[in-house]
Amino acid sequence: MSECRFFHVDAGTGLQRLAGLDEALLAWRGSGYVWMDLRDPSRRELDAVAGPLGIHPLAVEDCLDEQQIPKIEDYPGHTFILFNRFRYRDKELAVEEVDFLLGTNFLVTVSGRNGTDGDAFEKVEAMAVAERAAVERGPDFLLHVLLDHTVDSKVAAIEAMEDDIEAAEEELLREGTEFRLEELVHLRRALLLLRKSLFHEREILVKICRKDSPYVTEPSIYHFRDIYDHLTKFFEFCEMNRDILSSLMEIHLSLANNRMNRVANRTNSSVRRLTLITTVFMPLTLLAGIGGMSEWSMMTGPPNWRLAYPLFLLGMVVIGGVNYYLLRWVERRDRERQGS
Would you tell me how many other CB atoms lie within 10 Å of the CB of residue 76? 6
The pLDDT value recorded for residue 299 is 59
Residue 110 has φ and ψ, to the nearest 5°, of -125, 125
**Spatial distance between the Cα atoms of 136 and 139, rounded to a whole number of angstroms:** 8
Q: What is the pLDDT of residues 259-279, one digit of tens each?
A: 777 777 777 767 776 776 777
CB 172 within 8 A of CB 155: no
| Eight-class DSSP state of 338 | H
**Spatial distance between the Cα atoms of 28 and 26, rounded to a whole number of angstroms:** 5
**Spatial distance between the Cα atoms of 99 and 60, rounded to a whole number of angstroms:** 10
At 57, is the pLDDT very low, low, confident or very high (cuts 50, 70, 90)?
very high
The pLDDT value recorded for residue 102 is 93
**Spatial distance between the Cα atoms of 237 and 177, rounded to a whole number of angstroms:** 27
DSSP secondary structure string for all residues of 169-188? HHHHHHHGGGS-HHHHHHHH
DSSP H/E element including 9: strand 3-10
Residue 178 has pLDDT above 80, yes or no: no
Strand ranges, E, within 66-159: 71-75, 78-89, 92-102, 106-111
Mean per-residue pLDDT, 295-315: 67
Task: Classify residue 154 by burial, with Cβ atoms within 10 Å: 0-12, 13-18, 19+.
Answer: buried
Higher pLDDT, residue 238 or 286: 238
The pLDDT value recorded for residue 339 is 62
**Spatial distance between the Cα atoms of 100 and 146, rounded to a whole number of angstroms:** 9
Residue 283 makes CB contacts below 8 A (sequence gap 6+) with 319, 320, 323
At 120, is the pLDDT very low, low, confident or very high (cuts 50, 70, 90)?
low
Q: What is the pLDDT of residues 32-56, one digit of tens each?
A: 899 998 888 888 989 999 999 999 9
CB 114 within 8 A of CB 97: yes
**Percentage of residues in the chain having pLDDT higher than 70:** 85
**Spatial distance between the Cα atoms of 23 and 4, rounded to a whole number of angstroms:** 13
| Eight-class DSSP state of 69 | P
When mean pLDDT is compared across 109-123, 200-214, 287-301, the lowest value belongs to 287-301
**Spatial distance between the Cα atoms of 337 and 340, rounded to a whole number of angstroms:** 5
Q: What is the pLDDT of residues 140-164, one digit of tens each?
A: 998 988 888 888 888 888 888 888 8
